[in-house]
Copies of this chain bind each other. A is one copy, B any other.
Amino acid sequence: MTQLKNDTFLRALLKEPVEYTPIWMMRQAGRYLPEYRATRARAGSFMGLCTSPDYATEVTLQPLERFPLDAAILFSDILTVPDAMGLGLYFAEGEGPKFQRPLRDETAIRALVPAELDKLRYVFDAVASIRQALDGRVPLIGFSGSPFTLACYMVEGGGSDDFRHVKAMLYSRPELLHHILEMNTQSVIAYLNAQIDAGAQAVQIFDTWGGALSHAAYREFSLAYMQRIVAGLKREADGRRVPVIVFTKGGGQWLEDIAAIGADCVGLDWTTDIGQARARVGAKVALQGNFDPNALFAEPAAIEREVARILAGYGQGSGHVFNLGHGISQFADPAHAGALVDAVHRLSRRYHCD
């Protein structure tokens, strides 16, 4: 394998010395970029992008051509896994992802089995293709949704603003939800390990909806399964550690619990004070975050002030990967994203001179 030219991101995840704070942006390849929209139009559909290793490679690399980002992340969707479990993923225009066969009755739930990896071959092919195209420029991040976040979509049948069905199941029939989560967990372990085999150099588990739970339910229905995933992952490839990042949006109250599951890094949304987070769990894990993605709607000078505040909050030394606290908005101005990346690189050097 080619030697990495920029491994700042991997070093920061392991709290090894770095020269500056590395940055990548959740959803950095996406609709806010006109070149993405052009490729998406050529591909014909969102799933057309995801299932073609060529298109997935093209859009994964697009933000790196614009901005000196310190990592690339596989372009894919978190719902590829339940799709491979037979739920029938489709995207209704303007409505977000949906499943043809949501899990609503006990028979369907009991019949659920782990995803066949063969049906996800296109993802691993994309990882291999992107890794080759990167040619050692920056590390490649693989990812998956968390078992609970996947279950939300699988039970609701799509996005939801109240999680009515999955919460009814959680409280009334917890054993059914546990069966879904068990199948998801086995699927995600195999899915992420196959991404690592294909060339992913770090992996992130996105727990987008765990923050919608009570603390007690979060531990039982989301965190416990992420812990099993972390324990089941290959943690080394090409003789180098493959760091694991766990990110629960809205999980700031539970950092101690999250930091205890064995991941190398914990993601923070923008509501958490990063200095307090470091004091609470920084001895155990690296931290990723935590710029408010909607602060990108402000002027570049304001973006720079906010970057300075977060960098000062984390303070001196390694262990911080700069990122947004959630995916970049489709309405964000690419020039503002560029101002963010520039400010992080420029302002962070003073925190890494020892």
Instruction: Tell me, in angstroms, the Cα distance from A168 to B301 when the chains sit together.
Output: 12
Residues of B within 8 A of A294 (CB): 162-164, 167-168
Instruction: Kindly provide the distance from the CB of A259 to the nearest chain B CB, expressed in whole angstroms.
Output: 15
Residues of B within 8 A of A214 (CB): 270-271, 273, 290, 292
Complex interface residues of chain A between 184 and 217 (CB less than 8 A to chain B): 211-217
Interchain CB contact under 8 A, A167 and B292: yes
Choose from B164, B171, B273 the contact partner of A216 (Cβ within 8 Å): B273
Q: How many copies does the complex hold?
A: 2
Instruction: Tell me, in angstroms, the Cα distance from A204 to B25 when the chains sit together.
Output: 39
Instruction: Tell me, in angstroms, the Cα distance from A164 to B32 when the chains sit together.
Output: 15
Complex interface residues of chain A between 255 and 310 (CB less than 8 A to chain B): 270-273, 276, 290, 292, 294-295, 297-299, 301-303, 305-306, 309
Residues of B within 8 A of A218 (CB): 271
Interface residues on chain A, number (Cβ under 8 Å) = 40
Contact status of A271 and B309, CB under 8 A, knowing A253-B253, A298-B171, A329-B164: no
Instruction: Kindly provide the distance from the CB of A135 to the nearest chain B CB, expressed in whole angstroms.
Output: 36
Interchain CB contact under 8 A, B216 and A167: no
Complex interface residues of chain A between 326 and 340 (CB less than 8 A to chain B): 329, 331
Instruction: Tell me, in angstroms, the Cα distance from A250 to B329 when the chains sit together.
Output: 21
Instruction: Tell me, in angstroms, the Cα distance from A215 to B273 when the chains sit together.
Output: 6
Contact status of A164 and B331, CB under 8 A, knowing A171-B295, A216-B309, A253-B253: yes
Known: A162-B329, A215-B276. 10 other contacts (CB 8 A): A164-B294, A164-B331, A167-B292, A171-B298, A213-B271, A215-B272, A215-B273, A216-B273, A218-B271, A253-B253
